[in-house]
Structure 1
Amino acid sequence: MKKRYVFFVNAAYCYAVFRPVQEAIWEEGNEVAWFFTKDTPINLLANEKLLVNEKEVKDFAPDVIFGAGDWIPYYLPGLKVMLFHGLSINKRDSKNNAHFNIRGWYDLYCTHAEHDTNTFSKLAEKHKNFYVIKTGWPKLDPLFNSQTEQTKPKTKQAKILFFASTFSPSITAAPAVADELKSISNLPGWKVIATLHPLMDQDVVEKYLTMQDDSFVFLQPDADLYDAMTQADIMICDTSSIMYEFMFLNKPVITFKTRNPGPFLTDTQKVSDILPTLKALTKDATKQLSEAEQVCKNLHSYKDGKSSQRVLRAVDEVLEQGLGKLKRKPLNLLRKLKLRKRLGYWGF
């Protein structure tokens, strides 16, 4: 019998996490559909199936519902599986890493490396109401699979700078570096590709949109960012975890006032330092890249581009043994009422 899977989407970042899993599901001859919160833009492809409301999800009767955010509709059928929207990196305070918050929604956490697996396993022993299996992160599958293509000679007219930024006003670099990025794109032999977080202030987004021309490309958050990253020679970022994804390509990263400094990147404190740093690193980034390689090993255990397949095997394992060995999740009535209000669903 075919298995049925649903992707629950509550932010634009879910597309890049779920689509590699979708490909693996299709390869195995199973069915998959997408279900969105009402405030999330729907940008599905022609061959992707949409479920428009909770009734359609229940009628579809999924065996599994995947989530990448902090919450998921607990009342819908199917094993609830967390894939995460980022790697296990704390952007603000090492004593309070939100990546490891347990809110009582998920049955299975698919982890990425030894560190996060060990942490979640300890939490599983404490709560006794979810499973933990190390699978790797599906979002990285296309990036690892693209590295074979990278080894083929390519002719480029210009060096490419990739810029990505988080949205929080206290840590975003987007407003401060916008004019400098535009200036770099105007230099002979340079091109800039930029993207911003889905929750970025609209005024900032509008500024980046007006900067577009042949040498400055702005990508929406649901675009194929890995294609842009694969093309790029170097990245500028702030404290967004996407910079760690870029490091898996063995390319240098410059940051602007990052909250996560380290020898694996080159941080700048003044806008005027960006261009000299850019020029220096495009000549020699050997030391930084060596440090970044070790960081990548700690963040993700696999480089084979098959984390999606491991996720499906982990799901099979849990479906086979069932949830009978787990304790019931906390009742959390107030939290559940808030979630239903957020989704506008009061049925059963």
Structure 2
Amino acid sequence: MNYLTATKNKKYLMYISQNYSYAILRPIQAAVLANGGEVRWFLQGTDVNPSFLQSHEKQLNSIEEIHEWSPDATFAPANLIPTFFPGIKVAVFHGFDAHKRDTDGEKGHFAIRGCFDLYCTQGPNTTKRFAKSAQKHGHFKVAQTGWPTLDPLFSKTTDNPYKSDDPRPTLLICSTFSHRLTLAPRLYEKIKSFSTQGKWRILVQFHPKMQTEWVTKYKALSNQNLTFVETDNVLPLLQVADVMLCDTSSVMQMFLVQHKPVVTFCTRQPFPHLLDVTQADEVEAAIEHALTKPSDLMQNIESYCQELHPYTDGQSSQRVLNAANEFLQSNEKLKPKPLNVIRNFKMRKKLNYWKW
């Protein structure tokens, strides 16, 4: 396929409902524009901030405008997407499977909701599951592409606002927002003590849905040793950190693909590629051990990454675009999507769109 010709003059819609989705879809946008296509953005709901759009990014403000523009494909890092949009719908995921719940069968990360025509999977351990579902249902296709979000992670750019001449190791602390799973309250006193020790340069970044109470308390810890970061793009933080402390947030997988160690606190499912602890008093020793990069741990991380996301070439966005274009050109007849009457009614009500 001539990929430049396949993309040229085609229209691609970026559909987002959370601020972190900007960073997920912008690498795909860059691939589209580099190959002569057009891009528009649709921001759904109040959780996404339109001020984060860059000056060259063009927004569609209504479903009517989407139909008038008539995209060939819509990319969505979401579980759901309106089936009444023109063109094919492409799932690119908002994260990795973080094992926060039982995901046997078609649950959690692997749920099939009858919205998408194409799933662009991140690596073998997701491809196998979605390919099995595709064979079962017959109304969508699967292409293993890698996750476009990570493309900038493997770039050689030196423009990183968190890069520092500080000789101390950099510890990145990330946490999910779930009351049941978050480390924020359970490790607050321990992290407070770390902030006064000065052994490490500490960066703290929480999920955007983290409770305000804990955001406020951790912000108050900020000093010359600890910086609380609020951002819609976590990748620069991942690049500069030497080790991560996390719970069950899928951001840990984004860190691991760099072949860097992660210490987890009471993670949902401990694995040999993680250093998991269950007591606050065990955290400091685990971080010190992780910083030595023990050979058995690093070998386990290598094996895990080959299944999770084997791509380090920064070209996953181009593979996603290629997969979408191949789908558009194939004219392959798939089974009709399920009607999903209740789900589609709720989506129409949410978007206040009743035309057929």
After TM superposition, what 4+ stretches of structure 1 lie above 6 angstroms from structure 2?
147-150
Deviates more, 1:210-219 or 1:127-136: 210-219
Q: What 5-or-longer segments of structure 2 have no aligned partner?
A: 1-7
TM-score, normalization by structure 2 = 0.90
Partner residue of 2:342?
A: 334
Deviation at 1:108, TM superposition (A): 0.6
Output the amino acid matched with 2:172: F
Alpha-carbon distance in structure 1 between the residues aligned to 2:147 and 2:250: 14
Which of 236, 251, 256 lines up with 1:242 in the alignment?
Answer: 251
Deviation per residue, 1:65-112 (Å, 9 max, x gap): 111111012111121000011224432224254121111100111112
Q: Verify the 8 A CA contact 2:17 2:48 in the aligned structure 1.
A: no
Pairwise CA RMSD of aligned residues?
2.2
TM-score, normalization by structure 1 = 0.92
Partner residue of 1:9?
A: 16
Output the amino acid matched with 1:343: L
Q: Verify the 8 A CA contact 1:12 1:40 in the aligned structure 2.
A: yes
Aligned residues: 344
Output the amino acid matched with 1:31: E
Output the amino acid matched with 2:46: D
Which of 303, 310, 316 lines up with 1:307 in the alignment?
Answer: 316
SS at match of 2:155: helix
Alpha-carbon distance in structure 2 between the residues aligned to 1:298 and 1:148: 29
Deviation per residue, 1:112-136 (Å, 9 max, x gap): 2223222212211211111111111
Q: Judging changes above 3 Å, is the alpha-carbon distance between structure 1 residues 38 and 305 closer, same or farther for their aligned structure 2 residues?
A: same
Q: Verify the 8 A CA contact 1:144 1:304 in the aligned structure 2.
A: yes
Deviation per residue, 1:137-177 (Å, 9 max, x gap): 11111112249999xx9843432110111111111112222
Calculate percent identity across the aligned residue pairs: 39
Which of 174, 187, 192 lines up with 1:164 in the alignment?
Answer: 174
Deviation at 1:31, TM superposition (A): 1.2
Please list, as runs of the form range in 1=range in 2, the aligned pairs for 1:34-53 lying within 5 A after superposition: 34-42=41-49, 43-53=52-62
Q: What 5-or-longer segments of structure 1 have no aligned partner?
A: none
Output the amino acid matched with 2:26: R
Alpha-carbon distance in structure 2 between the residues aligned to 1:295 and 1:15: 27
Alpha-carbon distance in structure 1 between the residues aligned to 2:46 and 2:119: 25
Partner residue of 1:145?
A: 155
Output the amino acid matched with 1:134: Q
Deviation at 1:60, TM superposition (A): 2.1
Q: Judging changes above 3 Å, is the alpha-carbon distance between structure 1 residues 28 and 104 closer, same or farther for their aligned structure 2 residues?
A: same
Deviation per residue, 1:243-287 (Å, 9 max, x gap): 111112222111111112122111111112212222232234332
SS at match of 1:175: coil
Q: Verify the 8 A CA contact 1:181 1:192 in the aligned structure 2.
A: no
Is it true that 1:128 corresponds to 2:138 in the alignment? yes
